Structure 1
Amino acid sequence: MKNIIIASTSTLHNGEYLEYLLPELNVLFEKCSEILFIPYARPSGISHDNYTKKVAEAFTKISKTIKGIHDFENPIEAIEKAQGIFIGGGNTFLLVSQLYKNNSIEALEKAVKNGTPYLGTSAGSNICGLTMSTTNDMPIVYPPSFRTLAFVSFNINPHYLDPIVGSTHMGETRETRINEFHQFNPQPVIGLREGSWLAVNGDSIKLKGSLTARIFKRNEKPIEVDPETELNDLK
């Protein structure tokens, strides 16, 4: 049974890393003493070691040990034996490229769909959808496929931003980008605002946090859904 938290962000404004999620993570990883961290997304170019250290410091607050996947000779075996898994934010193109390079996509799919607790934030959340095509990131590398883990039957846009009234910014809004996506792709997209997450337990997918989320479907007007809404029929 899937047991997943798909969070828009790891850090809220003026908050510490993962701080706002720690009560939820204490429950998600309740039966885990050690969690496998996959640092491939490397935000701001941080090294795998330094990224893993940052995550380890946060998880000491709930008495969990973190091991980076890069410290294992066999990444597939590390995933198969993991008590819990966390993939953090950074660049989604880099993350997906590295997962394919290490042949880890299928191992992750199998482990998490069989019940290994999983936390994704930002890029690590983007890959929980059918494809990574609704990422906000620059294509700094080119993965062999945009297909991702399909833990949910739709796409995800983390860090979703609403247009700012009176802004002089002339670039495209997130909604514009998602409308462009729907010219070529049929699946729904959920825009997750900062501080929101999806709690996936078996077949249940529930919006959590204090904010609404924006749902985009092809050839339909976007709608807002409230926290605690079940999204298992979104496909």
Structure 2
Amino acid sequence: MELLLLSNSTNFGSTPWAHAREIARPLVEGRTVVFVPYALADHDAYTASIAEAFAPMGADVVGLHTHDDRAAALASAEAVYVGGGNTWRLLKTLQDGGLLAPLRERVLAGMPYLGASAGTNLACPTIRTTNDMPIVEPAGFAALGLIGFQINPHYQDPPAGSRHMGETRETRIREFHEENDIPVLGIREGGWLRVSGDSTELGGATARLFRAGEDPVELSPGPVRI
């Protein structure tokens, strides 16, 4: 498999994909990228913005929603990018269209898969570690299962001296591990995970790895084993 999974597509004060452009370029350059815009409501505007962001990488972008036969579009795609937004809406739309299985088959066959935020959640076994509100109700939580662990994009550490009494991100992940045994990788802003065959590399930022019943482990950019 060839995966590039971003915590976020845009860093503060920068342009979309600027922080991951060079790692993404070999996956998309000279290719037509099928963009899955379903995490946001305005598919046309979202696709136009992604086409602009991918142009410097030498890629053409076409929205999946513009195809009459969307399963066939995935089956013939050269690369796929699944954008961020609301993970619940993204999953439900793909479920309703019967598109999860054909997308997974193409990725397992070697087609590059790029995801950011909700698109990164979709690569996990389930969407149970998303930060998003369930604005729609999917048929289940199972996602593509391209990797054997969960990711929590936009992972945030509690600010020093904060008086906020609500749950921290770490608290919520610990609650997840009270009911689930699968590892969770919290990727901070600007971070990405590059999976190529059996190798996995963390880049762009540090991350925090959570396992049930263990203390979290800080991971630095470089090869990682999860």
Query: Is TM-score (shorter-chain normalized) higher than 0.5?
Result: yes
Instruction: State the one-letter code of the partner of 1:196.
Output: G
- Residue 4 of structure 1 corresponds to 3
- Residue 137 of structure 2 corresponds to 142
Q: Does 1:218 align with 2:217?
A: no
Instruction: State the one-letter code of the partner of 2:221.
Output: P
Deviation of the 1:113 alpha carbon: 1.1
- Residue 54 of structure 2 corresponds to 59
Q: Could you tell me the percent identity over the aligned residues? A: 43
CA-to-aligned-CA distance 1:151-181 (integer Å, 9 cap, x gap): 1100010000001011122211000000111
Deviation of the 1:206 alpha carbon: 1.5
Alpha-carbon separation, structure 2, partners of 1:229 and 1:179: 25
Q: Does 1:79 align with 2:77?
A: no
Segment of structure 1 superposing worse, 220-229 or 115-124: 220-229
Secondary structure of the structure 2 residue equivalent to 1:183: helix
Deviation of the 1:229 alpha carbon: 2.8
Let me know the Cα RMSD of the aligned residues: 1.0
**Which of 115, 121, 124 is the matching residue for 1:120?**
115
Secondary structure of the structure 2 residue equivalent to 1:20: coil
Instruction: State the one-letter code of the partner of 1:138.
Output: M
Alpha-carbon separation, structure 2, partners of 1:71 and 1:141: 23
Alpha-carbon separation, structure 2, partners of 1:142 and 1:79: 24
Aligned length: 226
Q: Does 1:180 align with 2:175?
A: yes
Deviation of the 1:225 alpha carbon: 1.3
Alpha-carbon separation, structure 1, partners of 2:27 and 2:33: 11
**Matched-pair contact (CA < 8 Å) for 2:84–2:119:** yes
Deviation of the 1:202 alpha carbon: 0.7
- Residue 29 of structure 1 corresponds to 28
Alpha-carbon separation, structure 1, partners of 2:210 and 2:24: 28
Q: Does 1:90 align with 2:88?
A: no
Alpha-carbon separation, structure 2, partners of 1:70 and 1:161: 33
Alpha-carbon separation, structure 2, partners of 1:33 and 1:138: 34
CA-to-aligned-CA distance 1:20-64 (integer Å, 9 cap, x gap): 11111211223x42100000000xx4x000000000111111221
Alpha-carbon separation, structure 2, partners of 1:227 and 1:62: 23
Alpha-carbon separation, structure 1, partners of 2:72 and 2:200: 28
CA-to-aligned-CA distance 1:80-112 (integer Å, 9 cap, x gap): 100000001000000000010111111111111
Segment of structure 1 superposing worse, 196-205 or 133-142: 196-205
- Residue 169 of structure 1 corresponds to 164
- Residue 204 of structure 1 corresponds to 199
Alpha-carbon separation, structure 2, partners of 1:95 and 1:19: 24
Alpha-carbon separation, structure 2, partners of 1:225 and 1:166: 24
Alpha-carbon separation, structure 1, partners of 2:12 and 2:112: 26
TM-score by length of 1: 0.94
**Matched-pair contact (CA < 8 Å) for 2:28–2:58:** no
Secondary structure of the structure 2 residue equivalent to 1:26: helix
5+ unaligned residues in a row in structure 2: which ranges? none
Alpha-carbon separation, structure 2, partners of 1:135 and 1:33: 30
Q: Does 1:230 align with 2:224?
A: yes
5+ unaligned residues in a row in structure 1: which ranges? none
